[in-house]
């Protein structure tokens, strides 16, 4: 006799099978983890408050009858966090920031701390984006400190990793990614983390990494982490035209969208893939 009981709790599916052999009962317990899908938009340095409100009104209209396939996150400039915190309250769109300082307070002109982000109801924060690494000199050590700071404040970091075109052409992709992960994940709680694979040469260029290659690299990333149920996104010229193909890949759990997230129509198409 087989009795199959499935209990669904927070994306974890415990399955217990009861076996009856000559009045003896044996229990086989299996844990099936269904990875959470997350579609996040990174607005970078775009939009005034009026533009943000106009965007939201159109986006919400286009998502009114959407079947929820993934969690939706908008990572916006600091100047919009307070406004969108009120506008998104009680909805199904989560608020994210684009940067966090490793210190909780101090003489760090122009920076923002985790406690400030908590005060603005930010649920997510992007850490280690290639533009921060390239233009502001963020190292893997700094990225690691920022991830830890975010987790200390119960904010989920979206940790970005990826290679340059030069590194890819030199056959160093795996080496670069593994090194970034090793240094960025020191003392990090992998149960409160999202990773985004963003090949730097594909960001904002219109050139998308081949989906099979993206899936392969994300598989390598998953091999490096202890939490095999972690959400790993792809980022790099994601559009409504390629989202379906990206989301069919078995290792890819979502996307981090740049330019296409600035238009409510294209972003809603991506969400509704």
Active-site residue numbers?
129, 198
Q: Is residue 138 classed as helix, strand or coil in its secondary structure?
A: coil
What is the distance between the alpha carbons of residues 181 and 176, in angstroms, rounded to a whole number? 9
Structure tokens at 225: 């982490």
Strand runs labelled E in the chain? 2-6, 12-21, 24-33, 38-42, 71-75, 93-97, 124-127, 156-161, 194-197, 231-235, 254-257
């Amino acid at each position: 006799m087989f009795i199959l009981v499935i209990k669904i709790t927070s994306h974890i599916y415990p399955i217990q099978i009861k076996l009856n052999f000559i009045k003896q009962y044996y229990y086989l317990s299996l844990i099936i983890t269904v990875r959470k899908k997350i579609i996040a938009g990174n607005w970078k340095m775009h939009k005034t408050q009026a533009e943000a409100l106009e965007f939201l009104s159109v986006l919400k209209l286009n998502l009114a009858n959407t079947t929820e396939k993934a969690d939706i996150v908008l990572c916006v400039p600091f100047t919009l966090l307070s406004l969108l915190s009120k506008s998104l309250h009680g909805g199904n769109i989560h608020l994210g920031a684009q940067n966090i300082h490793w210190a909780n307070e101090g003489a760090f002109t122009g920076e923002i701390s985790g406690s400030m982000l908590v005060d603005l109801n930010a649920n997510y924060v992007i850490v280690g984006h290639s533009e921060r690494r390239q233009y502001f000199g963020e190292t893997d050590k700094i990225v690691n400190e920022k991830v830890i700071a975010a987790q200390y404040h119960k904010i989920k970091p979206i940790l970005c990793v990826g290679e340059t075109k030069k590194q890819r052409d030199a056959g160093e992709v795996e080496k670069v990614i593994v090194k970034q992960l090793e240094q960025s994940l020191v003392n990090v709680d992998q149960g409160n983390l999202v990773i985004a694979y963003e090949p730097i040469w594909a960001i904002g260029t219109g050139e998308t990494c081949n989906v099979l290659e993206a899936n392969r690299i994300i598989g390598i990333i998953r091999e490096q982490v202890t939490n095999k149920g972690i959400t790993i996104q792809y980022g790099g010229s994601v559009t409504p035209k390629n989202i379906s193909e990206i989301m069919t890949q078995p290792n890819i759990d979502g996307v981090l969208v740049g330019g296409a997230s600035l238009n409510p129509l294209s972003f809603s198409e991506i969400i509704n893939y």
